[in-house]
Amino acid sequence: MNRILTFALACFAGVSFAAEKKRVVVCTVTTGFRHSSIPFAEKTIEKLGAESGLYEVVGWARQPGAEAPKKPEKPKALKPLDPAADDKMKALYEVAKQKAAEANAKYEAELAKWGPEQDAAVKAAQTKREDQMKASMAILAPDQLKANKVDLVIFANTTGDLPLPDRDGFIKWIADGGNFAAMHSGGDTFHGFKGYLEMLQCEFKTHGPQVSADLIAGDKAHPANGGIGEKWDLAMEEMYEFKDGSHDRAKIRALWYLRHHPVKKDELGYNPVSWCRNEGKGRVFYTSLGHREDLWSDDPAMPGRKNSVEVSKQYQAHILGGIKWALGLVPGDATPNPDVK
């Protein structure tokens, strides 16, 4: 009888104290450039939560579906033919001139259909879209985050000035113990909003053409290393440059970085790629990686794949480790390490 009672109590205790899944809200709203990798990002973040059993996405801030109609744009004028052009160039120019004439004719025909009614329709559609975007972002209001017991907010490839209900309140929510993670163009978001830029510790400046990347680990023991090790080679990715003064190495722990300029590899020097930090009581994880679809998705049949499936799985391990750390599920040092070289 005692054995049975002991077993029953043990089972009861196991159920009573089983860890609940952490609660995550994901934002993929954009008011600037919109990445084609966003649908893959959404699927991957949700998949990693389900497979690990550690967190669930309890809410989304997503883009409204329909784009507003746009007024026809006049085609760019064809540049004059170089007087020194040979016969081959002259023939090509004649083809280009014909195409330009067809484009102008199409433009004129579309413009002829445009009037005050179409202008009003565009304005109404834009207003509706803005209202839908604000409604979608309402889930990120501090009172809603608290009411929904949200543990982490993720900005996955967001861009521009998002219609966040309470920008300062959102940063305070993080500092008070809420947590934040962002991928890629999360660093190209809220230009001019000092609170966000200081919390994230970067502001996007520019990027060159997509290139191969030879990343160096700033902390091999951190969960966001993903078990990859000391070096991580990507076949192709869009590597960011950040504005001067927007990234303070004394305030972040470097997780991955480059030992040279993101594109000009003969220009040596530290260039940040991924890091973590504490914002008050909150944890912040950021990776500038995530432009390409074949980083987010490990589908071997993906058309145009440049990064191997193995690299895709490494990227998933990288962001999952960062998410787990931001949720406080695994230990990881956030002490700044400005001396890594």
Among the listed residues 59, 62, 326, the one whose alpha carbon sits nearest the alpha carbon of residue 178: 326
pLDDT the model gives residue 66: 67
Q: Give Cβ neighbours of residue 298 (< 8 Å, ≥ 6 apart).
A: 309, 312, 313, 316
pLDDT the model gives residue 204: 98
CB 162 within 8 A of CB 185: no
- As averages over each run of 10 residues, the pLDDT of the chain (341 residues) reads 40 48 98 97 98 97 81 88 89 90 90 84 84 94 98 98 97 98 98 97 97 98 98 98 97 98 94 98 98 98 97 98 98 97 89
Which fold does the domain 17-66+139-326 belong to in CATH?
Answer: Rossmann fold (3.40.50)
Joined tokens for residue 110: 């579309």
Three-state DSSP class for residue 210: coil
pLDDT the model gives residue 122: 80
Query: Where in the chain are the domains?
Result: 17-66+139-326
Strand 179-183 relative to strand 282-287: parallel, antiparallel, unpaired?
parallel
In this predicted model, what pLDDT tens digit does every residue of 66-119 receive, in sequence order? 676 788 889 899 889 889 989 998 899 899 989 999 999 998 988 888 888 888
Which DSSP string do the residues of 58-122 spell out, in sequence order? EEEE---SPPPP----PPPPPPPPPTT--HHHHHHHHHHHHHHHHHHHHHHHHHHT--HHHHHHH
- Give dist(CA 153, CA 298) in Å, integer: 24
In this predicted model, what pLDDT tens digit does every residue of 229-267 receive, in sequence order? 999 999 999 999 999 999 999 999 999 999 999 999 999
pLDDT the model gives residue 13: 40
- Give dist(CA 269, CA 91) in Å, integer: 48
Query: Which phi-psi region, left, alpha or beta, contains residue 313 (left: φ > 0; alpha: ψ -120 to 50)?
Result: alpha
pLDDT the model gives residue 155: 98
pLDDT the model gives residue 128: 86
Q: Where are the beta strands (DSSP E) in the chain?
A: 22-27, 55-61, 152-156, 179-183, 204-207, 211-217, 231-237, 240-242, 253-260, 268-279, 282-287
Query: pTM of the prediction?
Result: 0.85
- In the chain, what is the straight-line distance between the N-terminal and C-terminal CA atoms, in Å? 64
Joined tokens for residue 276: 């973590």
